[in-house]
């Protein structure tokens, strides 16, 4: 059985983790729970990490949102749900989600739908669009923006597609 970490050991280990990549308060609490550190000590360590700017939930949320949209191709709803699961406060969630660049957001969804359209088997356009809508909803995109992108997609001329 491993010996209990001291407060200082836990702090140093968490500070090192936070120095390498953005982490939120909840992730650090989960780590400390696994290390069986009591709640009062956890609060003390978290307070110190926040004070010394190793942890900043808003900074974390900004990086998280940018990564999930850009690289994982997630929509707002899925990102918001993930932030909620990480216990990021509602006001931070709202602020960060409001900062999402609309053009960048569309630049993620349109190619995603275009790519998916090539792999969907459907009997007609209506069925194909239904499948595309379901796919995009599962990725966390809102219905309104999906319809907007499908309309844009339908208006494109497929005759000269060379990509």
Over range 23-31, report the average pLDDT. 96
| 50, 59 contact by CB (below 8 A) | no
Say what the pLDDT of residue 108 is.
95
- Give CA–CA dist 58/4, Å, rounded: 31
Residue 156 has a pLDDT of 54
From first CA to last CA, the distance across the chain in angstroms is 58
Q: Percent of the chain beyond pLDDT 90?
A: 85
Q: What is the pLDDT of residue 4?
A: 78
Q: What is the structure's pLDDT at 161?
A: 41
Q: What is the pLDDT of residue 3?
A: 67
The pLDDT score that the predictor gives to residue 5 is 87
Q: How far apart are CA 77 and CA 107, in angstroms?
A: 17
Interatomic CA distance for residues 57 and 158, integer angstroms: 44
Average pLDDT over residues 100-120: 93
* pLDDT for 92: 97
Query: Hey, what's the torsion of the CAs at 145, 149, 150, 151, to 10 degrees?
Result: 100
Residue 46, both tokens: 């978290």
């Amino acid at each position: 059985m491993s010996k209990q970490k001291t407060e200082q050991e836990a702090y140093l280990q968490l500070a090192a983790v936070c120095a390498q990549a953005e982490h939120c308060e909840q992730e650090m609490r989960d780590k400390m729970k696994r290390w069986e550190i009591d709640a009062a000590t956890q609060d003390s360590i978290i307070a110190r990490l926040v004070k010394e700017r190793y942890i900043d939930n808003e900074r974390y949320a900004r990086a998280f949102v940018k990564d999930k949209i850009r690289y994982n191709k997630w929509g707002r709803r899925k990102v918001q749900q993930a932030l909620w699961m990480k216990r990021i406060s509602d006001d931070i969630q709202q602020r960060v989600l409001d900062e999402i660049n609309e053009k960048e957001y569309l630049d993620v969804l349109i190619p995603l739908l275009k790519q998916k359209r090539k792999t969907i088997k459907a009997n007609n356009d209506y069925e194909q669009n239904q499948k595309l809508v379901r796919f995009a909803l599962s990725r966390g995109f809102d219905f309104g923006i999906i319809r907007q992108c499908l309309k844009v997609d339908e208006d494109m001329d497929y005759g000269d597609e060379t990509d």
